[in-house]
Amino acid sequence: MVRFTHLHVSSAFSAHYGTGRPEVLVAAAKAAGAEAAAITDRDGVYGAVRHIRACISENLAPIVGVNLPLRASRTTEQGPLEITALAHGSHQGAAAGAGWAALVRLISAAHSPRRRGRRALHGSAHRSASTDPKAASVFLSGEEGPVATVLLGPRSDVGDALVSGDRTRAEALLNQWKKHLPGGVVVEVVCWNTKPGTTASLGHAAQLLQLARATGTPAVLTNAVRYVEPDDAVTGDVLDAAAHLLPLGEFQPQPNAQAWLKPPEAMHELAYRIAEYAGLGRYAAIELLSTTEHLAEQCRIDPDTDLGWRQPKIPELEILGVDQDPARVLAQRCEAALSDRYPLSTAHQLGTIRDRMEEELTTISGFGFASYFLAVAETVDLIRDRGVRVQARGSGAGSLVNYLLRVSNVDPLEHDLLFERFLGNKRSTLPDIDIDIESARRHEIYQAIFDRYGHHRVTLLSMQNTYRARGAARDAGLALGLSEEQINQVAEHIWRFNARDFRSVLHSKPELRQIAELVATEPQLDQLVDLTERLDRLPRHISMHPCGVILGDSSLLSVTPTQPSGIGLPMSQFDKDDIDDMGLLKLDILGVRMQSSMAYAVEEITRVNGPAAAAEGGLPAEVPYISADGRVDLDALPHDDEPTFEMIRTTHTLGCFQIESPGQRELIGKLQPDRYADLIADISLFRPGPMKGNMVTPFVNRKHGYERIEYLHRQFAPFLQDSYGVVIYHEHVLRILHETMGVSLAEADEIRRRMEHDVDTIEGEFRSHTAARTDEYGQRIFTDVQIDRIWETLRGFGSFGFCKAHGAAFALPTYQSAWLKTHYPVEFFAGLLEHDPGMYQRRFIMAEARRIGIPVLPVDINASGEHYRVERISAEEKGIRMPLRHIKGITEAELTRILAGQPYESITAFYHQAAPSRALMRRLAGIGAFDALAEHGRRSGTRGSIMTYAQQLTAPSRCRNTPAEDPQQPVLFSEAELMDTTVSDPTVEERITTELDTLSTEVTGHVLTPYQPMLEHLGVTPAEELLTLRTNTEVLVAGIRVATQTPPMRSGERTVFISLDDGTGCADTTFFTDAQERTGPLLFGTRLMLIKGHTRRTGHRGISIQAEQAWDLKQLWQEWHRSLTVPAA
């Protein structure tokens, strides 16, 4: 069997270029008998860790390189000129990791912004990274020769000179490269069988080989691979179109489909053909092939020695300020925090707490993770010191140590959370401690972390955005040259399916009915479906991960290449799946808008109410969690505030964290929580697993006394209290296994993890261990019948359960936001509008504010600022003032000028001082921002006259008939007198339309207001009246769509939930298969809808509508109008 190692291979991680995933390419190389496999992605090592992982599992030697554009080179029709660099491995005498570090630094340098700004070009075909011989010399030269090899191929400057017929220049360029990197340059011969005379043709390959021989330069053969099989060339064409942002046919396409991972035989044959064409004998071909294999040997990376594969690289102790044993320092910090966290505990209780703490500390230091915990604590301290809200999320909340370090604010003892669920005995990689902070201050915190640990120890994490169905259809449409309208028509109806399944769902999804018909008649759309499927899950572009920060030691920048992130901080080329293998520590610091909203609300409470804050919130004056100056400490709230639970039980929970979705409101309606543990259960139950496993019904029935509470076994009663005996949490399973099998909690967690994969393998073990358990009298603790029942429960639990620590951590902001909504609704809604945290659009949150009686104050040129602000209207009433920031088209500069000039005395003064654009001036007038200015004096300007006046002011000068042009000119007439009061005011409908257009929300009324006559005529039921109806009443509801969801259902059938807002509340409707069929394309594409269906009571406070049919309200309105104007026959 002949052997050939492909040294130049682009994977799909060469975004918009490669089509093969590293795992597939490696498997193909293995199948072809290779002993090593290379990855040389464009501009980075984005796919390298996956490649190495695949190589390890296929037992191949990994080779890693990069393909980089050449700086200041000419750009050909195929893009910029480029080189490929391959890192050397350490086993050939080079220092361990030197090749990798060199490659990494070369890449980072290639991405560092140039000093002279370059023209920003659109499309990924314009690659922003670049390198040159000098950079190669600087980064790739080691102390004892080069630590990487540069491949100069057909698309290099040397290859380009040859194809242009300038052999002298080619030789000069090659010599220059060799001078910069002696011994580190090879000629890369590629033959793609392109048209003779062009790049990568047989002749071009022969010229490269001849040049190498003439100059005594080693030459290697590659196929500059960009796909696994020639079939993928079609996908390549579409990716090229996406990279150019041009349809196929409007740019130079790839030459043909030859750039695939050809088998060794084909590559050997190519070598012979090239040598023959070059007029060189067989020996030249053999030499070419053996040099290729020799270089492959030299570039084999050893993951352990070269990369420190899976070896932790965390900040050095001195950086953490730790000068002794980190385990001891951690223990001291926890001990010191005990009295602070548990001030009211008795000595006995403290003893129990201390035991738990010591157990946790023993496990932590046993793994050597103490410094990791200290680093996390240090980071959280740094966040808190800056006055930013911070809260741990996930299983980390199960750790008492985290609670003592103030990493988490959830007391694991209060909620019976288990450390073992977070960190068991068998963990080898660092556990994740996820932290939520205020989203608005996330970048500030990242910057602070960089400053704290040093810029050479920190980078942001990146993420690969991959093609989903909608984006794939859009790019496929672009490639085919479809019109924007045609593309939209398809894309709008694509709703959550995998791109690769497009054709198979065409006929099963009612919303795709029209598309299916078009596909049958229009070949281009038929192609679009195929192309969309081909793009499925291919990486599109890299971006900053929403929460990941990588913390390393001082070698970090030799481990990961970095590139600009868009926020001025460097971003690693690795994503979350690469981190563990690279031994890097990832901090998950997620910006959570709800945290920003709550922080904002707290600020507003203090600012507006001051010392009267407690009274304003309907609370006793001396509550410990509100300071004398009116500052609320949300983390110190007691968890049993009845008014808060009362509000939650109404299901009017819009705006509250985690419990505002239609499905959640329905669950809340059934569950009727009256204690904190119920909130944890609610959040844990509202997941696909428990919903499918129907854990909700027994929970609700037992809670409300419809069903007797049973605990499976009397020994389980203490820990199943929190869920009325229903097994919901991982923690429950751990405790059950601990009680029954007599294993430790850590072992129980391992068994639980095994159960998730294959529950039946546990059964024998479970039964024998449990049956063997006896009490002090030698009697069996568990009878066979009990064992059967317990096993059935565990078996049914499967993978449905949820980590209670997750739920408890989520429940905290849920409770805090509900508390704010209950006690400080105006301030809370100001926070919601300011930071837009939830699933609903801002306009719906505003509608909800109005619904609960909060005055929304219109934009006012003097009263409005940059932010949503609480404004006192009277001693009793507060409202929310709309900001200037969200006016359509307002620029930063205009906003700054307007704010600087406030207050304004007249419209004219505003126009001259703030110098707004003409359009902005008219928009301000249209939404009533000048109404207050025109109010004083005898004659108040009306909205109509103000709008006319603003038009006159901003009209081109020759038409201007206002004397107010020069601000220096004495004012003879007051503005009000200049206004034409005969101009009629806009109607309510017109105002609402203007508001929606200018502010994306209505202020004056509701978007449905204009339709009222028709709705009354049709007998439409307002949302607020639905609860008064009996179940199974036929109803019509109308409104603006505020939510569309397709959650997983027990039946497995797709169910579509559509929620409509009509200004009186939210009507939640359910579309089952038949109704989806009848609704067809309206299902996902229509905003204003009328829905007919039957009511369905879903609990004490819940009602939803089982939809039968839906109409487009706008269309209906036109038809209704027409019917009114047509006289009855």
Q: For binding to another protein (CB under 8 A), which residues are involved?
A: 192-196, 201-203, 229-235, 237, 248-249, 253-258, 479-481, 523-524, 526-527, 530-531, 533-534
Nearer to another protein, 56 or 248 (CB): 248
**Considering the complex, what minimum distance in angstroms separates the CB of residue 530 from another protein?**
4
**Considering the complex, what minimum distance in angstroms separates the CB of residue 523 from another protein?**
3
Helix (H) or strand (E) holding 1042: strand 1034-1045
- CB 67 within 8 Å of CB 84: yes
Rounded to 5 degrees, what angle do the CA atoms 688, 692, 694 make? 120
**Considering the complex, what minimum distance in angstroms separates the CB of residue 250 from another protein?**
11
**Considering the complex, what minimum distance in angstroms separates the CB of residue 281 from another protein?**
16
Nearer to another protein, 526 or 1108 (CB): 526
**Considering the complex, what minimum distance in angstroms separates the CB of residue 167 from another protein?**
20
Nearer to another protein, 197 or 967 (CB): 197
Name the amino acid, one letter, at 1107.
Answer: A
Nearer to another protein, 232 or 722 (CB): 232
**Considering the complex, what minimum distance in angstroms separates the CB of residue 15 from another protein?**
20
* Residues with Cβ within 8 Å of residue 163, at least 6 apart in sequence: 154, 197, 198, 199, 204, 207
What one-character DSSP code corresponds to residue 1005? Answer: S
Nearer to another protein, 82 or 232 (CB): 232
- When computed from its CA atoms, the radius of gyration of the chain, rounded to whole angstroms, is 34
Nearer to another protein, 124 or 258 (CB): 258
**Considering the complex, what minimum distance in angstroms separates the CB of residue 129 from another protein?**
27
Nearer to another protein, 254 or 363 (CB): 254
Which residue, among 250, 248, 222, 220, has the nearest Cα to 236 in the 3D structure?
A: 248
Residue 589: strand, helix, or coil: strand
What one-character DSSP code corresponds to residue 984? Answer: P
Helix (H) or strand (E) holding 1068: strand 1066-1071
Is the C-alpha dihedral spanning 466, 468, 474, 480 positive or negative?
A: positive
Burial class of residue 338 in the structure, from the number of CB atoms within 10 Å of its CB (0-12 exposed, 13-18 middle, 19+ buried): middle
Nearer to another protein, 121 or 520 (CB): 520
Nearer to another protein, 240 or 660 (CB): 240
Nearer to another protein, 147 or 482 (CB): 482
- CB 1007 within 8 Å of CB 1088: yes
**Considering the complex, what minimum distance in angstroms separates the CB of residue 532 from another protein?**
10
Give me the helix-helix angle, 745-757 and 730-741, nearest 10°.
Answer: 110
* Residues with Cβ within 8 Å of residue 10, at least 6 apart in sequence: 17, 18, 40, 41, 42, 67, 224, 225, 226
Q: How far apart are CA 897 and CA 879, in angstroms?
A: 26
- CB 573 within 8 Å of CB 45: yes
Buried b (16+ CB within 10 A) or exposed e, 943-972: bbbbbbbbebbbeeeeeeeeebeeeeeeee
Q: What is the DSSP string of 517-547?
A: HHHHH-HHHHHHHHHHHHHTT-EEEEEEEEE
Q: Give the pair of three-digit tokens for residue 212.
A: 């190498």
Question: What are the φ and ψ backbone dihedral angles of 122, each rounded to 5 degrees?
Answer: -90, 155
What one-character DSSP code corresponds to residue 792? Answer: H
**Considering the complex, what minimum distance in angstroms separates the CB of residue 268 from another protein?**
17
- CB 1043 within 8 Å of CB 840: yes
**Considering the complex, what minimum distance in angstroms separates the CB of residue 235 from another protein?**
7
**Considering the complex, what minimum distance in angstroms separates the CB of residue 685 from another protein?**
42
Q: How far apart are the first and last CA of the chain?
A: 89
Bridge partner list, 142: 145
Q: How far apart are CA 808 and CA 675, in angstroms?
A: 12
**Considering the complex, what minimum distance in angstroms separates the CB of residue 882 from another protein?**
49
**Considering the complex, what minimum distance in angstroms separates the CB of residue 82 from another protein?**
20
Nearer to another protein, 256 or 429 (CB): 256
Nearer to another protein, 196 or 343 (CB): 196
Q: Give the pair of three-digit tokens for residue 898.
A: 């307007």
What is the CB neighbour count within 10 angstroms for residue 1055?
A: 17
Nearer to another protein, 270 or 458 (CB): 270
Lookup result for tokens 């809260």: 391
Helix ranges restricted to H, 536-612: 556-559, 576-582, 593-609
Nearer to another protein, 533 or 871 (CB): 533
**Considering the complex, what minimum distance in angstroms separates the CB of residue 198 from another protein?**
9
**Considering the complex, what minimum distance in angstroms separates the CB of residue 46 from another protein?**
25
Nearer to another protein, 234 or 448 (CB): 234
**Considering the complex, what minimum distance in angstroms separates the CB of residue 164 from another protein?**
17
**Considering the complex, what minimum distance in angstroms separates the CB of residue 791 from another protein?**
46
Q: What is the DSSP string of 34-56?
A: -SEEEEEEETS-TTHHHHHHHHH
For 312-379, give the secondary structure using H, E and C: CCCCCHHHHCCCCCHHHHHHHHHHHHHHHHCCCCCHHHHHHHHHHHHHHHHHHHHHCCHHHHHHHHHH
**Considering the complex, what minimum distance in angstroms separates the CB of residue 258 from another protein?**
6
Nearer to another protein, 204 or 639 (CB): 204
Nearer to another protein, 103 or 479 (CB): 479
Nearer to another protein, 12 or 884 (CB): 12
- CB 766 within 8 Å of CB 741: yes
Q: How far apart are CA 731 and CA 807, in angstroms?
A: 11
